[in-house]
Amino acid sequence: MDRQVCYGVDLDGTLAHHDEWKGGNFIGKPIPKMMEKVKKWLSEGIKVVIFTARADDPDNLEAIIDWLDDNGLPELEVTNIKTPEIKRFYDDRAIQVVKNEGTIIGDESLINDSHVEVSAQQKLDDMYNQGIKI
Ligand SMILES: [Mg+2]
């Protein structure tokens, strides 16, 4: 049984700067704080897998492996499959929930919903202000 600790780390917006999708061959510049964490974990013997939706398409894998190599990381496993092996997920979209409780950890009002179009968000705000249950 593999007892090595394993962390899943998202690519776009977590390990690599990301504003908008520019195709499978474009990956943004590395984010230093997260790169340092990943390198430290690897030096401590922690297994790190790149957990990214890009893994949907096998044609995207070569660009990811090249990006890792260009930025001083080894050829890490790339996956979009959540397995019990992965003990932690680092992701710019993640919201942590207390196990078996449903309580959100942290301040939800600080969550950056920049992916929600302003018009859609405005519609929700308008519905809320009108007392419509959403
Ligand atoms: Mg992301």
Mean pLDDT, all residues of the chain: 90
Predicted confidence band at 106 (pLDDT cuts at 50, 70, 90)? confident
The pLDDT value given to residue 33 = 98
Nearest to 94 by CA among 16, 14, 4, 27: 14
Q: Which residues pair with 88 in a beta bridge?
A: 7
For 69, residues 6+ apart whose C-beta sits below 8 A from its C-beta are 75
What is the whole-number distance in angstroms between the Cα of residue 91 and the centre of ligand 1? Answer: 6
Predicted confidence band at 115 (pLDDT cuts at 50, 70, 90)? low
Predicted confidence band at 120 (pLDDT cuts at 50, 70, 90)? low
What is the whole-number distance in angstroms between the Cα of residue 85 and the centre of ligand 1? Answer: 20
In this prediction, residues 50-65 reach a mean pLDDT of 97
Superfamily name with CATH number, domain 6-129 = HAD superfamily/HAD-like (3.40.50.1000)
Please state which of the ranges 56-65, 93-102, 121-130 shows the lowest mean pLDDT. 121-130
Domain chopping of the chain, boundaries: 6-129
Nearest to 124 by CA among 111, 115, 133: 133
Query: Does residue 98 register a pLDDT over 60?
Result: yes
What's the token pair of residue 55? Answer: 């893994």
What is the whole-number distance in angstroms between the Cα of residue 51 and the centre of ligand 1? Answer: 9
pLDDT, tens digit, for every residue of 10-30? 999 999 999 999 999 999 999
d(CA 42, CA 35): 11
What is the whole-number distance in angstroms between the Cα of residue 18 and the centre of ligand 1? Answer: 8
CA dihedral 20, 50, 24, 61 (to 10 degrees): 180
What's the token pair of residue 105? Answer: 């950890």
Query: Does residue 45 register a pLDDT over 60?
Result: yes
